[in-house]
Amino acid sequence: MQNYKYLLYLYIILSFGCSKKEQIVTNDLIFETSPYLLQHAKNPVNWQAWNQKSLNKAKEENKLMVISIGYASCHWCHVMEKESFSDSIVASTMNSNFINIKVDREERPDVDKVYMKALQLMTGNGGWPLNVIALPDGRPVYTGTYFSKNQWLGILEQISEKFKNSPDQFYELASKLEKGIQDIDLIELNTDEIAFEKSFLEKELKNWQLSFDTINGGSTNTPKFMMPNNYKFLLRYAHQNDDKKLMHHVENTLNKISFGGVFDHINGGFSRYAVDKQWHIPHFEKMLYDNAQLVSLYSNAYQLTKNETYKKVVYETLDFIKNEMTSPEGIFYSSIDADSYNKEGILEEGAYYSWTENELKKILKKEFNLFSKYFNINEFGKWEDEKYVLIKSNSDSKFCKKNNLSISDFEVLKINWRKKLKEAQIKRNKPKLDNKSLTSWNALMITAYIDAYAVFNEQEYLDIANKAARFILENQFQKNGKLFHNYTSGKTSVNGYLEDYATTIEAIIKLYQVTGNEVLLDKVKLLIDYTLNNFYDTKSKIFYFTSRKDAPLLANTIEIQDNVIASSNSIMAKNLFVLSHYFSSAEYLEISTSMLNNIKLKINNNGYFFSNWLDLMLNFTNPFYEVVISGKNAKEKLKELNKHYLPNILSCYSNRNSELPLLKNRFISDETYIYVCINNSCKLPVETVSETLSLLEK
């Protein structure tokens, strides 16, 4: 093993052109697979990965730790890496006084969540890079995000000096902070009788509406995140309660997002968020999880509204995912960077995506005038330094009407524009790709492809979903139900977290619903059993984020707030609700309802952060149906049913005999019947989808 390490170090010397013995011997990140960690493998800082060996070293040497957390597509992580972690003076200070640990937050979300809580307690803010100074036992004493070189040097020198002279003060602070971190995740058991009422949802929505941006859509906050699970709930609530004002806000938001610069009008796909109120200027990195959830949202919105813009968004986004973020194995990469090298060879945010007026005139020639009207190459569309990010003001139909164009002719023009701009982009330096695959994010993308398939009936979408799901079940899944979290270059290194189990279960349920393959439910049962045995706390009736089999951290994190991604507990609660129907399980239903009842105490005028829980609550406050299709034409009937937006149903189908409780004794050869059931009571079976819709409306 020692000879192997020596040869690997020698290889690194030759590859990186490095001559500093201290760096070569001590920067352990060269052994990692995470693209983010490998970005720091050349640093003169003695970086180590988060593992028991590096944590033990801090205790043995009684040294403070620098725990620096980020991710591959993080702009300010790159800036700090260049300014501070590549600097020999900074590195010397860090190496002399600290044990330095680099963490990929996407690979180790458990570590990130603990120290992010410390940052929020100490500063009231969050963000990355997340830089923590911790005691030798790992308890934080100082936190912050981006620091300039001089700021960072000053912090390092002051804290290391104070620790030498007054260590007791640091231990006292650490104890208070540790208790604060642990208290954040305390969940009270709600002993009140379980009752979910429309009035509760109405109150939450009334308060939430105060933060709506009624002009630009979304919320009044900047920066503006898309928050897909928020709008999935609001779309459903508006539809089920015939709330036209709320529906207008949802549609306005989806329109403005799809018109804005946060949507890539040339390549497809969404950036992470907008820095302005108009959704114009994006923070240019593209994350798999955003694109996955937005595909699902826009598919649902098209299902209800038949708005062609939403369909185009789905198709163009999935083209982008297929072309740019799919591996040869058929799974999905994590992200694409915001930064790329400009013509001067300088790393610049948005360099790949922005345009000058002169560039566009040279590329488009006579077509520039019409293009500039459509994409606002004017004062409205200007970004900075005479650069533009493409942004629309109107739908294609309105633009065509205003400019006396036919829709068909304009479609040809747009295809031509896109082709020319793509050819110009090929000559540019592409942003870096984070090629690690995360089980949870892949599961979200599988769900997205299935949602798109259900709505648009594109067989390719189902084929892609099947291939990715098969990879997870064959490579990330073990016979006892255990999952791995990551996969990079043929390697897995991290046990699965609750998010992996929750999203994978959700994706496999969705896959079962469109394929009728009951073997998939067997896999789900294994996953559910493993999750209940290793993550579920029977006292608080909630799931921990990390498994009991993982090494303990400062606190047992419990994820309950829905953020850009819905919380793993809310997804799991919805899974259990659905599976209680498929398996006729009173236990699953009891756990799901108890979880929702506990979280009800936490919501309290904060619906924005609990939208997936509120979506689950709609299953109890409004009618919820089981729609069972059995017979030789069952799949065709399901496809017809899926053309309609029906968020309050659970469906299953079979074209043969089945022992599944919902399907048992319902197959009749040469006939196809549809059963609509509610609260274990079924109406007389019908033969057509139109009759089914009529029963659901009643």
Would you say 115 and 143 are in contact if contact means Cβ atoms under 8 Å apart?
yes
Round to whole Å and give the CA distance between 416 and 406: 16
Give tens-digit pLDDT for 68-114. Answer: 999 999 999 999 999 999 999 999 999 999 999 999 999 999 999 99
pLDDT of residue 11: 37
Give the tokens for residue 187.
């969940």
Q: Is 450 helix (H, G, I), strand (E, B) or coil?
A: helix
Would you say 666 and 679 are in contact if contact means Cβ atoms under 8 Å apart?
no
In percent, how much of the chain has pLDDT > 90?
Answer: 89
For residue 628, with 0-12 CB atoms within 10 Å meaning exposed, 13-18 middle and 19 or more buried, which class applies?
buried
Q: Is domain 2-184 annotated with CATH 3.40.30.10?
A: yes
Would you say 542 and 189 are in contact if contact means Cβ atoms under 8 Å apart?
no
Identify which of 508, 512, 511, 513 has the alpha carbon closest to the alpha carbon of residue 481. 508
Would you say 575 and 501 are in contact if contact means Cβ atoms under 8 Å apart?
no
From the CB of residue 372, how many other CB atoms can be counted at a distance below 10 Å? 17
Q: Which residues are 332's β-sheet partners?
A: 326
Identify which of 230, 254, 245 has the alpha carbon closest to the alpha carbon of residue 303. 254
Maximum Cα–Cα distance across the chain: 86
Identify which of 546, 547, 545, 560 has the alpha carbon closest to the alpha carbon of residue 595. 560
Q: Is the pTM of this model over 0.85?
A: yes
Q: Is 477 helix (H, G, I), strand (E, B) or coil?
A: strand
Within 13 Å of residue 467, how many CA atoms lie on the same side as its CB? 15
Q: Is 246 helix (H, G, I), strand (E, B) or coil?
A: helix
Q: Is 132 helix (H, G, I), strand (E, B) or coil?
A: strand
Task: Give phi and psi for 303, each to the nearest 5.
Answer: -55, -40
Compute CA distances 531 → 439, 568, 582, 626, whole Å: 15, 12, 18, 25
**Which amino acid does the sequence have at 532?**
L
What CATH number should be reported for the domain whose range is 198-221+291-335+437-614? 1.50.10.20
Torsion of CA 403, 408, 410, 413, to 10 degrees: -150
Within 13 Å of residue 159, how many CA atoms lie on the same side as its CB? 24
Task: Give phi and psi for 601, each to the nearest 5.
Answer: -65, -25
pLDDT of residue 533: 97
Would you say 242 and 277 are in contact if contact means Cβ atoms under 8 Å apart?
no
**Which amino acid does the sequence have at 435?**
N
Q: What does DSSP assign to residue 430?
A: P
Would you say 247 and 211 are in contact if contact means Cβ atoms under 8 Å apart?
no
H runs (alpha helix) in 539-658: 568-582, 586-603, 611-621, 634-641
**Which amino acid does the sequence have at 243?**
D
pLDDT of residue 187: 85
From the CB of residue 314, how many other CB atoms can be counted at a distance below 10 Å? 25
Identify which of 123, 126, 109, 128 has the alpha carbon closest to the alpha carbon of residue 50. 109
pLDDT of residue 330: 97
H runs (alpha helix) in 62-191: 75-80, 88-97, 109-123, 149-165, 167-184
Q: What is the 3-state secondary structure (H, E, C) of 1-65?
A: CHHHHHHHHHHHHHHHCCCCHHHHHHCHHHHCCCHHHHHCCCCCCCEEECCHHHHHHHHHHCCEE
> What is the end-to-end Cα distance of the chain in Å, rounded?
71
Round to whole Å and give the CA distance between 451 and 70: 31
Task: Give phi and psi for 138, each to the nearest 5.
Answer: 95, -5
Give the tokens for residue 394.
């109107």
Asked whether the CA dihedral 412, 299, 258, 505 is positive or negative, the reply is: negative
H runs (alpha helix) in 325-379: 357-364, 368-375
Round to whole Å and give the CA distance between 325 and 518: 30
pLDDT of residue 212: 97
Within 13 Å of residue 486, how many CA atoms lie on the same side as its CB? 20
Residue ranges of domains in the chain: 2-184, 198-221+291-335+437-614, 353-427, 625-697
Give the tokens for residue 182.
């642990």
Any long-range contacts for 245-250 (C-beta under 8 Å, 24+ apart)? 246/205, 246/209, 249/209, 249/212, 249/214, 249/217, 250/301
Listed as ranges, residues in the chain with pLDDT below 50 are 1-25
Round to whole Å and give the CA distance between 454 and 513: 10
Round to whole Å and give the CA distance between 325 and 483: 22
Which residues are within 8 A (CB) of 634 and not within 5 positions of it... i.e. 6 or more apart? 516, 653, 654, 655, 672
